[in-house]
Amino acid sequence: MGIIRALLAFAVVFAHSPWNGGVALVGGRNAVQLFYVISGFLIAHVLRTNTNYRNPLRFYANRALRIYPAYYIVLLFSLGPALLTQSPLLEFIRNAGVGAKTLLLLANVAIFGQDWVMFGAVEDGALILTADFSQAKTPLYLGLVIPQAWTLGVELTFYAIAPFLLRRNSWILIALILSFAVRGWLFYVGIGTHDPWSYRFFPAELSLFLLGALANRIGVDKWQRLLSTSENVRGASVLATATLCIVICTYFFVPISETIKTISLMTVFSILLPLVFLYRPKGSWDKFLGDLSYPVYISHIFVILVIGVIVRRLSWHPSAALITAMNLIFSVVFATLLNQILERPLERLRTRVRLGRSALGTAGDLPLTAQSQRQ
C-alpha cells in the first residue's frame, strides 16, 4: 500500500506545480479523496483489531502523535518564507480584523476547523460566510500558514467520531446513505461540482471515509474466503497493486468524461484496496514510500515556496517541467529528513500508546513491519 500512498502524495505536489497546469496522475482533488478512502480503511482496521482502542482516548492520543508533531515542525519552517515574502498570509494580516485573525490563529494551532475556513471570508475587516471563496476579495484560507492542511481538519473530524461510528456495519451504512444524500442534495441545488462544496464539505466527504471502512470490514474477509490460500492472496494482491498504480499513473490520459472517470476510479479503488492490504512486501521499500506520504503532503507547499524564493533571487528562469521536478525531489528529501529526525523517535511512543503500558515490556521493542501497525 505504500507505493499507492506515495503516488497520491506526488499527485498533490504536481497539482501545486506548474508543469501541465498542475494536472498529472489522478489530480489533486482525486488524490485527496482517495486518501480519505485509505484513511477510512486503515482506521476501521485498527479499531477492529486493536482492543486497546476500545478506550477512545488511546486512539486519539495515537492519532495526535501521528499528525501534530510533523505539522508543527512544518508550521515553524513555513512561517519564515510566509512572513518574509509577499505571501497571501501578509495580505490576510493586513486586511483582517481582530475576529478573523483570532479565528485563524486558533485554526492554525488546533488544525480543527481549517476545512470550515474555506467557507469564510473577510469583508471590510469583518468575518462573513461565503459559498464561493474564489469570489471573495480576502478569503479566510489566506490566513492558513500551511494551506493544504485544511484536509487534516476533515481527517480529524472523522477521527473524532470513528471510535463510535465504526462499531457496527449497520451504523456505517446508515451514515453512508446520509452522506450520499447530502452530496446528492449539493448536486441538486447546483453547487456539488463547485469548490469548496466539491471536496471540502465534511458531511459529503464522510461517505469516502465510510467506503474505505466498509472495504475493510466486508471486503477483506470476502477476498480472503474467495482466494482461500496464501499463494492466491499474494498473487491477487500484487496484481491489484499493479492495477491501481497503472490506474493512478494513466488516469490523466483517459479521454472520457471526468465525472465518469472519477466515479470509476473511486469504485475500482474501493474494491481493490482490501486486496492491496492483504499482502505487504517484506522489503523496506514499500514501507519507506508509505511513510513518506504524510510528510511529503504536509511539507510540499513550504518546499515550493523556498524553491520559488531561490529561483527569484538567482534571476533564474527554469522550465515548468524542471520546477515541478525540483518541487517533487526536494519534497521527498525534506520528508525523508523529517521521518529520520522526528517520526522514528516518535514511533516508540506511539507503540507504547497503541499496545498499552503493560504490553510494552514484551512487544514494545519489536520491529514494526506491517502497514496496519503504523496506524
pLDDT bin (cut points 50, 70, 90) of residue 282 is low
| The pLDDT value given to residue 94 | 81
- Please tell me the total count of domains within the chain: 1
Q: pLDDT (tens digit, 9 = 90+) per residue, 142-193? A: 999 999 999 999 999 999 999 999 999 999 999 999 999 999 999 999 998 8
| The pLDDT value given to residue 345 | 80
- Asked whether residue 353 carries a pLDDT value surpassing 90, the answer given is no
What residue has cell string 501545486? 16
C-alpha cell at 361: 515490556
| Residue range of the domain that includes 47 | 2-374
Cβ count near 66 (within 10 Å): 18
- Asked whether residue 369 carries a pLDDT value surpassing 60, the answer given is no
pLDDT bin (cut points 50, 70, 90) of residue 347 is confident
- Asked whether residue 8 carries a pLDDT value surpassing 60, the answer given is yes
| The pLDDT value given to residue 343 | 79
Farthest-apart Cα atoms in the chain, separation: 66
| Average pLDDT value over all residues in the chain | 89
Radius of gyration from C-alpha coordinates of the chain = 21
- The contacts of residue 146 (CB under 8 Å, 6+ apart) are 71, 74, 75, 78, 108, 298, 301, 302
Q: pLDDT (tens digit, 9 = 90+) per residue, 197-226? A: 999 999 999 999 999 999 999 999 999 899
d(CA 96, CA 102) in angstroms, rounded, equals 10
d(CA 242, CA 256) in angstroms, rounded, equals 22
For residue 199, which of 335, 313, 17, 30 has the smallest C-alpha distance?
A: 30
pLDDT bin (cut points 50, 70, 90) of residue 95 is confident
d(CA 122, CA 293) in angstroms, rounded, equals 33
